[in-house]
Each structure stands twice: as C-alpha cells, then as structure tokens.
Amino acid sequence: MSKVALIFGHSFTKRMERYLTLKPLDLNQQYSYIFTQGIPGATVETLTDHIEFIRDVDPCVLLLDLGSNDLCDPNVSHFTYSRQLISLIGKLLYSSDIPSLKMVVVLPILHRGTSWQPRSGQRNLVQFNQVVTLSNQLIREQADTLPGIHFYWSDKFPKTPVNLEKYLQDGVHLKPQALQKYRKVYRGALIQGFNRASLPSFPSDTDTSAL
C-alpha cells in the first residue's frame, strides 16, 4: 500500500511549504513521502486543473486546504462550494488513474480578520465570515457520511475569526508564530488521514488548541 501523502492548497499551503523546509512535519519515518503543492489563489477549479499532477504523485492520503478564494465570490454559496468540492473528491477517489488514493482529508476554511480589504466584486468581511461558517458546517456534515472523505475538526478549532493578533496586516494570512502552530493542524490531519486509510497508526498528535 502507498505511503505517500499530498498536501494541496492555496497560499496557506504555499507558505507552509516554505516553512516545512525548515521544520518538517516529523511524521513516522516510514511515512516520509509528503508532497506539497501550494498555489496562491487556488480554488476547486484549480484542483481540477491539477488532476494530472495528483495522478503522477498517486498519494494514499490527499490533504486539501481550499475554499477561501472560492468563497470570496458572492455568486458561490456554501451549497455550491460544498457540492463542487464533494463531487470532485468523489471523482478522485473512484478514479482508476489514482489507484493508491484511499482517503481525502478536508481542512476547515479559516475566517478573515478585520484588516482584510476585499477587492471590488468580492464579498465583504461579514458576508465572507458568515459563508465560511456555513461552508464548514455543511462540508463537515456531508464528508463524514461518505467513504474516503474526512473533515478534520476539533472542538478547539476556531468557529469564529481567530485572534486578530494572529493575522498579518492583510487579514488573511497568519503570522509566523501562528503559522508554526497551524503546522500542528497539518500534522494532525495527515495522521488521521493515514489512520483512516487503514495504515498502521502514528503516535497520537491532533492538537489544534494552539489556534
């Protein structure tokens, strides 16, 4: 069975990709094949455009950190986003071109801080944070009723915008200290992903209280 994981996401993943070169996830050595693909501005459509890349990696576990850019668009409701995401994940899981894929783990979408300045045509801050809350709730409900999909959640995960001191001035990205703590979210999500894919268990580490 494949012991490869792929982390795919937007600018959060890109920033984490750079950070992980300095501080790897330190998973069990037998699961050392962790690939990251962070694309600033990435959406569900971006994931569709990179299916060939996912096929080349052929991961056992796919970790997705998406949604923020989709939900800036006022024409994308939480129902639309959830339907698009779950539909695409289903296609990936049942694709004969990605035979090793057993589990797709979806991370919650983070809210944005008050310093965020939406561009023309985007949702305002209040609308954005509202649709983020609704999207997280809906995807969580849907994902865990479907085989091969897990919405990574903890009761300690922020249901409202994280402390403003955690944000950079753009109100979107996390400061280095908070990014270091967000690394634990990635690590915990991968651990659960591998466990749910019926691979031998990692040591327990799913702490998200740092957020």
Q: Are 33 and 7 in contact (CB under 8 A)?
A: no
Domains along the sequence of the chain with CATH: 4-196 (3.40.50.1110)
46: Cβ–Cβ under 8 A, 6 or more apart, which residues?
A: 10, 39, 66
> For 86-96, what is the mean pLDDT?
92
- Residue 193's identity, in one-letter code, is G
For residue 90, the SS3 value is helix
In which band, very low, low, confident or very high, does the pLDDT at 1 lie, cut at 50, 70 and 90?
low
Say whether pLDDT at 28 is over 70: no
pTM, 2 dp: 0.88
**Sequence-ordered alpha helix ranges (H) in 51-200:** 51-57, 68-71, 78-93, 125-143, 176-196
Say whether pLDDT at 210 is over 60: no
Summarised one tens digit per residue, pLDDT across range 133-162 is 999 999 999 987 889 999 998 655 555 555
Specify the pLDDT at position 52: 93
Q: Is the dihedral of CA 185, 187, 190, 191 positive or negative?
A: negative
Distance, C-alpha 66 to centroid of its chain = 5
The DSSP bridge partners found for residue 5 are: 34, 61
Specify the pLDDT at position 157: 58
Specify the pLDDT at position 42: 95
Return the higher-pLDDT residue of 162 and 93.
93
Mean pLDDT score of the chain: 85
